[in-house]
Amino acid sequence: MLSPPTTTCNMADTGVVEALLLGLEKAEDGVDSLELSSSLGVEHQVVVGAVKSLQSVGEVISAEQRSSKHWQLTEEGVEISELGSHEARVFECIPVEGLLQSELMKLPFGKIGFTKAMSNKWIRVDKTSEGGPLIFRSVQTIVDQVREKLLNVLNGKDAELEEKEKSELKKRRLLSEVTVKSYWITKGSSFSTTITKQETELTPEMIVSGNWKDNKFKPYNFEAMGVPLDCGHLHPLMKVRTQFRQIFLEMGFTEMPTNNFIESSFWNFDSLFQPQQHPARDQHDTFFLSDPALTLDFPQDYLQRVKKVHTEGGFGSQGYKYEWKVEEAQKNILRTHTTAVSARMLYKLAQQKFTPVKYFSIDRVFRNETLDATHLAEFHQIEGVVADYDLTLGDLMGVLHQFFTKLGITKLRFKPAYNPYTEPSMEVFSYHEGLEKWVEVGNSGVFRPEMLLPMGLPEDVSVIAWGLSLERPTMIKYGINNIRELVGHKVNLQMVYDGPICRLDT
Amino acid sequence: YVWILFERDLYLINSKYYKIMSDEEFDELCFQFGLELDEITSEKELISKEQNDSKAAGASDVILYKIDVPANRYDLLCLEGLVRGLQVFKNKLEAPRYVRVSPVSGQPQKLIITKETAAVRPYAVAAVLRDITFTQERYDSFIELQEKLHQNICRKRSIVAIGTHDLDTTSGPFTYTAKPPSEICFQPLNQTKEFTATELMSLYRTDSHLKHYLHIIEDKPVYPVIYDSNGIVLSMPPIINGDHTKISLKTKNVFIECTATDLTKAKVVLDTLVTMFSQYCSQPFTVEEAEVVYPDGKTCLYPELPYRKEKLSGEFVNRKIGINESTETVAQLLTRMCLLSKLTGVGDQIEVEIPPTRSDIIHACDIVEDAAIAYGFNNITRTTPRSYTVATQFPLNKLTELLRQDVAAAGFTEVLTFALCSKEDVGDKLGKKISETGAAHISNPKTAEFQVARTTLLPGLLKTIAANKKMPLPLKLFEISDVVLKDKSKDVGARNSRRFCAVYYNKSPGFEVIHGLMDRTMQLLGVKPLRGEGYHIQAAEDSIFFPGRCAEIFVDGKSVGRLGVLHPNVVTRFELTMPCSALEMDIEPFL
């Protein structure tokens, strides 16, 4: 990830660097690193080192990598280029008086050399001699063409060989064709044959002395990453929470005190006109408390009005007509929604002379549900509430439009829905450009008179409200599929470290 | 969610659609009406999804619609009701008028309730569907509606249980009584021999469907049972009907009984069943009454099929929605929602008639919603409330927001841990007795992770480290969030307490780092290092910390928290291997 400015200049062979620059000065267009290495008689790798070091000091040269096919001697080819071909060596070792064929065959090059020398008609066999066949030279001198060709290749003059000859030598396994990578080096925009020593970094001394004016500095490698900082990070869900808070505050909403996870069933359900037999109040959906198990302290006259509206109605309602039990209302639970706090706030509001209010909260709620990749037993609910005289359903839609516009969501539509404590109730859908369909983004409604009137709010006051979860938009924003990677101790800290800032409207 | 499943073609045929209605058009219609076309599927697809492809091989691939229905609209829980509701909504049909009639000859069927039922299931209602014609589809729909009602308004039969019987196989008067299980003996539905109720309870213990209902009566001394005049058992609610009176495709006259613990719901269930299926009687939408005799001798005729009248003004409806329609138009909108509405002629007054199918209409606000649905939610002009309000932050949250930013700026990373945990997390693992922690206990946790509300943030942070051991050291984490403590001074007996917790996890304990963070935090909070009017720390003992490595933080002489090097036992119990120092303090004193 991290690499300091290169310092290869020091490591490169200065002689080769100079030779390269001089060669380049003379060349019309450019030089090939491979040719240069053979003309200088150094390893190709040394020339490559010189190229790299020159590249690191700016635009002195420019080098383009290229690959070429190239003939190379095999191990056997190298041996022949040094000692001569097998057939030449056979010729050389035969004295004037001849050599027994059996003796010749004992030599390592004997067998192949004999055959080749015979076909070249350099030697002859006298099968009549006593003691076995004798071999004699049949010519005075020979030219060892095989060796000469190999030497040509070795000296980089393989162009002088015909293709046929090369393939013949290849067949004899003396030559092989290899691909060689080399550089095509040309003059750079600031080409010069002299390289001044480069400074690595600006120093305080240079600044004081003014030397920096005359110094040349090694270029930085801008391809590398910077040093990772030792820093703290905010959690993505909390970053999104901050933005939602900000949006509500921009819209003039006051924050509700939601720091009470434990709530009585009364404030969580009964005060919201949620009947006691409602499935949400089931053991399978709600966490009940064994300690502290009950709440006994309620505003008694209000409790009686709640009981009445459930049991027999009133306030214009038929009621649910069932036997409402205070024992059910007393049961303590972990709140299933922050609307329990909204109920407390609205009750409090009703005890004073009414003034219009806008409230919001973002806090934890708890559900004893089956857990999966997108559901946990606790999550954060975002809630907005407006209480004012004569609010309309159109007002609710307008407020929702403003709220979602701040989230960057402008295409909204509303679907009639059911909720025990709001009427009308609307599900909020937004058009998802990626999925090319409408997706649900929240729930909303107008609180029922059966909830508001027993609290003592004036009859012409309407209360509109909406809610959504904090986790879902966060998961979409940060591309997280499993909620456990986001919330709870199994969080992926790397994800927290790497997360961008949260701008909801972009 | 409440949902229903039906054949697409049956919907089209019953809605008298002669041209094809596309899935998109139907989806849009549902959306406007407040329904959701959840899935377009087939029996084959459903089986292969639930089981496997080989099981689905022979299944039908007739296209089915699965629709989500609002939980209070029992009148939309079968195809008959759905078609009726949507046709009226589209102005293609007038809502039928449901009428209770007396039998053409003789007395109404009688259901006599004895006082023994009071101990188990005291209410019953009944009605007769006379001269009905079933087809396979109608029959299936009739059975399915009973099942939907059982699952929803009947709360899995605990509140109401429905029994339907072939009236021609039995004769009244019927008696609804309750008897000890050993004294009830009959041949239940789809069995070939008789069982006592006691035997039935053990027989159904392994029945995948019926086993869920046994708990409703099994610990009662007496079980509910309905007999006919010959002593034949019609049903043993809420478990099973008798085999003798079971209905079939050939059944012409249906006797319906609903037994209940809640009379209101029993009446709604009965009204729903008869309003939906009287459509197939020779006199459509008429229902023959039945007489129920209560133990005190009082008699009632059912079904009630109540038509209630409400009066409201056109102006009221307009004002609540935010539209400006004439009174006539408002009345028309409501009529399209099966709420027959007329102008009374007195000002802009509208008389709205709520039919027996609409038990969900209990207040004028429900009527307003229906007018808004008929008008079209998405045709309503979006407006802005006019009142001027000034926003205020909750001071504790404001402090938390500001502090989080600066703790992160001090190099610590924020985590977010659960408010619920096991007793062990806040007890044993920290070397504390759970009874001394002041923890609030949950009575119905599904797993140990949700036994108590946390009393300290530390376990969550330590578990976060344990789950992130691969990350480079040091780990510097913090959280500012609520714990819950029992508190008798609060109405619910508990309160939240906002805490700031931080941990430093590395090869060396780094007490000086945590100490530095504490100093920095005090600086941020504007508290000076001063005994008395400022902050100081002093040695303390705590099972969480290594002896001699723990200090208590005092602000203005009051303890606000502790910091120190964690005890190796604590480190080990949280499955960690490195030394660790930690800080936890209340932030509410700094408000």
Q: What is the tens place of the pLDDT at every residue in A24-76?
A: 888 888 888 888 888 888 888 888 888 888 887 778 888 888 887 778 888 88
Question: Does the residue A493 lie in any domain?
Answer: yes
CA distance linking residue A220 with residue A58, whole number of Å: 10
> pLDDT-derived band of residue A156, with 50, 70 and 90 as boundaries?
confident
Taking Cα atoms as reference points, which of A321, A14, A486, A393 lies closest to residue B359?
A321
CB A122 within 8 A of CB A138: yes
The backbone region for A132, taken as left when phi is positive above 0, alpha when psi lies in -120 to 50, beta otherwise, is: left
The whole-number pLDDT of residue A117 equals 85
If asked whether residues A337 and A188 sit together in one domain, one would say no
For an interface test with A, give the residue of B366, B369, B405 to mutate (most A CBs within 10 A): B369
Cβ contact B392–A448 (<8 Å): no
Question: Does the residue A219 lie in any domain?
Answer: no
Q: Dump strand ranges (E) for A246-329.
A: 254-255, 262-264, 289-291
Question: Does the residue A381 lie in any domain?
Answer: yes
Q: Is B417 on the interface with A (CB under 8 A)?
A: yes
Q: Is the pLDDT confidence value at A3 over 70?
A: no
Question: pLDDT tens digit string along B265-309?
Answer: 999 999 999 999 999 999 999 999 999 999 999 999 999 999 999
If asked whether residues A376 and A442 sit together in one domain, one would say yes
Taking Cα atoms as reference points, which of B515, B543, B546, B551 lies closest to residue B456?
B543
Question: pLDDT tens digit string along A272-304?
Answer: 999 998 888 888 899 999 999 999 999 999 999
Minimal Cα distance from B411: which residue of A? Answer: A232
The whole-number pLDDT of residue A7 equals 39
| pLDDT mean over A303-332 | 95
Structure tokens at B179: 């008897």
Window A:447-466, CB contacts with B under 8 Å:
448-450, 462
Taking Cα atoms as reference points, which of B237, B256, B109 lies closest to residue B178?
B237
For an interface test with A, give the residue of B442, B450, B475 to mutate (most A CBs within 10 A): B442
The whole-number pLDDT of residue A121 equals 86
Least confident of A163-177, B136-150, B465-479: A163-177
The whole-number pLDDT of residue A240 equals 94
Question: How buried is residue A171: exposed, middle or buried, by Cβ count under 10 Å (0-12/13-18/19+)?
Answer: exposed
For an interface test with B, give the residue of A240, A324, A489 to mutate (most B CBs within 10 A): A489
The whole-number pLDDT of residue A1 equals 37
What average pLDDT does chain B have? 94
Q: Quick check: helix, strand or coil at residue B453? A: strand
Q: Is A332 on the interface with B (CB under 8 A)?
A: yes
CB B279 within 8 A of CB B80: yes
Minimal Cα distance from B385: which residue of A? Answer: A395
Minimal Cα distance from A333: which residue of B? Answer: B442
How far does A372 lie from chain B, in Å, by closest CA? 14
Higher pLDDT: A200 or B244? It is B244
Partners of B236 in the beta sheet?
B240
**Whole-Å CA distances, B393 to A67, A249, A252, B400:** 69, 8, 10, 11
Tell me the one-letter amino acid at A350.
A
CA distance linking residue A435 with residue A411, whole number of Å: 14
CA distance linking residue A392 with residue A395, whole number of Å: 5
**Dihedral sign of CA atoms B323, B325, B327, B331 in order:** negative
A-chain CB neighbours of B460 within 8 Å are 489
Question: Does the residue A42 lie in any domain?
Answer: yes
Question: Does the residue A124 lie in any domain?
Answer: yes
CA distance linking residue A473 with residue A467, whole number of Å: 12
If asked whether residues A190 and A325 sit together in one domain, one would say no
Q: Which residues contact B356 (CB under 8 A, 6 or more apart)?
A: B98, B271, B275, B303, B304, B305, B306, B307
The whole-number pLDDT of residue A75 equals 86
Most confident of A44-58, A223-237, A274-288, B497-511: B497-511
If asked whether residues A280 and A320 sit together in one domain, one would say yes
Q: Which residues contact A35 (CB under 8 A, 6 or more apart)?
A: A156
* ipTM for the assembly: 0.92
**Whole-Å CA distances, A205 to A4, A198, A208, A216, A379:** 21, 16, 5, 15, 59
If asked whether residues A143 and A261 sit together in one domain, one would say no
Minimal Cα distance from A491: which residue of B? Answer: B464
Cβ contact A394–B381 (<8 Å): yes
The whole-number pLDDT of residue A10 equals 42
Cis peptide before B303 (omega within 30 of 0): yes
> pLDDT-derived band of residue A145, with 50, 70 and 90 as boundaries?
confident
A259, A287, A297 member nearest B491 (Cβ): A297
CA distance linking residue B86 with residue B29, whole number of Å: 8
> pLDDT-derived band of residue A112, with 50, 70 and 90 as boundaries?
confident
Q: Is B77 on the interface with A (CB under 8 A)?
A: no
Taking Cα atoms as reference points, which of B258, B259, B286 lies closest to residue B274?
B286
Cβ contact A423–B369 (<8 Å): yes
How far does B517 lie from chain A, in Å, by closest CA? 12
A232, A332, A414 member nearest B412 (Cβ): A232
Tell me the one-letter amino acid at B70.
P
Q: Is A345 on the interface with B (CB under 8 A)?
A: no
Q: Is B233 on the interface with A (CB under 8 A)?
A: no
B265, B377, B387 member nearest A426 (Cβ): B377
Q: Is the pLDDT confidence value at A80 over 90?
A: no
Q: Which helix (H) or strand (E) holds B396?
A: helix B395-409
> Which structural domain range is residue A203 located in?
11-67+183-213
Structure tokens at A164: 């046929």
How far does B489 lie from chain A, in Å, by closest CA? 11
First vs last Cα of chain A: how many Å apart?
30
> pLDDT-derived band of residue A5, with 50, 70 and 90 as boundaries?
very low
Cβ contact B441–A397 (<8 Å): no
Structure tokens at B537: 């720390």
Q: Dump strand ranges (E) for A298-436.
A: 332-334, 357-366, 378-389, 412-419, 422-432
B-chain CB neighbours of A398 within 8 Å are 382-385
A-chain CB neighbours of B24 within 8 Å are none
Q: Dump strand ranges (E) for B31-107.
A: 36-42, 63-69, 99-101
A-chain CB neighbours of B362 within 8 Å are 313, 317-320
Cis peptide before B568 (omega within 30 of 0): no
How many DSSP H helices and E strands does chain B contain? 16, 29
Taking Cα atoms as reference points, which of A128, A88, A93, A119 lies closest to residue A107?
A93
CA distance linking residue A317 with residue B285, whole number of Å: 28
Question: Does the residue A223 lie in any domain?
Answer: no
Higher pLDDT: B112 or A124? It is B112
B-chain CB neighbours of A291 within 8 Å are 440-441, 486
Tell me the one-letter amino acid at B575.
E
**Whole-Å CA distances, B396 to B56, B403, B480, B496:** 58, 11, 11, 12
Tell me the one-letter amino acid at A286.
T
Question: Does the residue A227 lie in any domain?
Answer: no
The whole-number pLDDT of residue A6 equals 38
Tell me the one-letter amino acid at B136.
Q
Structure tokens at B240: 């099973």
What average pLDDT does chain A have? 88
The whole-number pLDDT of residue B19 equals 66
The whole-number pLDDT of residue A4 equals 39
Least confident of A22-26, A342-346, B124-128: A22-26
B-chain CB neighbours of A253 within 8 Å are 389, 391
Question: How buried is residue A313: exposed, middle or buried, by Cβ count under 10 Å (0-12/13-18/19+)?
Answer: middle
The whole-number pLDDT of residue B523 equals 96
* Rg of chain A over all Cα atoms, to the nearest angstrom: 46
CB A411 within 8 A of CB A430: yes
The whole-number pLDDT of residue B18 equals 59
How many DSSP H helices and E strands does chain A contain? 20, 18
The DSSP letter of residue A219 is P
Q: What CATH number corresponds to the domain at position A80?
A: 1.10.10.2330
Cβ contact A294–B493 (<8 Å): yes
For an interface test with A, give the residue of B33, B389, B398 to mutate (most A CBs within 10 A): B389
CB A505 within 8 A of CB A406: yes
The whole-number pLDDT of residue A64 equals 87
CA distance linking residue B400 with residue B525, whole number of Å: 11
The whole-number pLDDT of residue A461 equals 96
The DSSP letter of residue B189 is T
If asked whether residues A137 and A169 sit together in one domain, one would say yes
Q: Is B473 on the interface with A (CB under 8 A)?
A: no
A315, A392, A402 member nearest B320 (Cβ): A392
Q: What CATH number corresponds to the domain at position A350?
A: 3.30.930.10
Structure tokens at A439: 């997706």
If asked whether residues A297 and A371 sit together in one domain, one would say yes
Q: Is A264 on the interface with B (CB under 8 A)?
A: yes
Question: How buried is residue A23: exposed, middle or buried, by Cβ count under 10 Å (0-12/13-18/19+)?
Answer: middle
Cβ contact A491–B387 (<8 Å): no
Share of residues in chain A with pLDDT > 70 (%):
97
Q: Which helix (H) or strand (E) holds B321?
A: helix B314-321
How far does B461 lie from chain A, in Å, by closest CA? 7
If asked whether residues A335 and A201 sit together in one domain, one would say no
First vs last Cα of chain B: how many Å apart?
44
Q: Which residues contact A415 (CB under 8 A, 6 or more apart)?
A: A426, A427, A429, B31, B34, B36, B377
Q: Is the pLDDT confidence value at A9 over 50?
A: no
Q: What CATH number corresponds to the domain at position A207?
A: 3.30.1370.240
Q: Which helix (H) or strand (E) holds B512?
A: helix B511-524
Most confident of A170-179, A225-234, B453-462: B453-462
If asked whether residues A286 and A413 sit together in one domain, one would say yes
Structure tokens at A470: 């904090």
How far does A384 lie from chain B, in Å, by closest CA? 13
| pLDDT mean over B385-389 | 91
Window B:303-362, CB contacts with A under 8 Å:
308, 319-323, 360, 362
Q: Is B154 on the interface with A (CB under 8 A)?
A: no
Share of residues in chain B with pLDDT > 70 (%):
99
Cβ contact A320–B417 (<8 Å): no
> pLDDT-derived band of residue A12, with 50, 70 and 90 as boundaries?
low
The whole-number pLDDT of residue A8 equals 39
How far does A415 lie from chain B, in Å, by closest CA? 6
Question: Does the residue A24 lie in any domain?
Answer: yes
The whole-number pLDDT of residue B178 equals 94
Minimal Cα distance from A324: which residue of B? Answer: B262
If asked whether residues A129 and A200 sit together in one domain, one would say no
Domain count across chain A:
3
Q: Dump strand ranges (E) for B433-591.
A: 441-442, 452-453, 475-486, 494-505, 535-539, 545-555, 558-566, 580-586
For chain A, what's the residue count? 506
CA distance linking residue B564 with residue B9, whole number of Å: 72
Cβ contact B320–A462 (<8 Å): yes
If asked whether residues A366 and A310 sit together in one domain, one would say yes
**CA A20: distance to chain centroid?**
42
> Kind of pairing, strands A198-199 and A216-217?
parallel
If asked whether residues A21 and A95 sit together in one domain, one would say no
**CA B492: distance to chain centroid?**
24
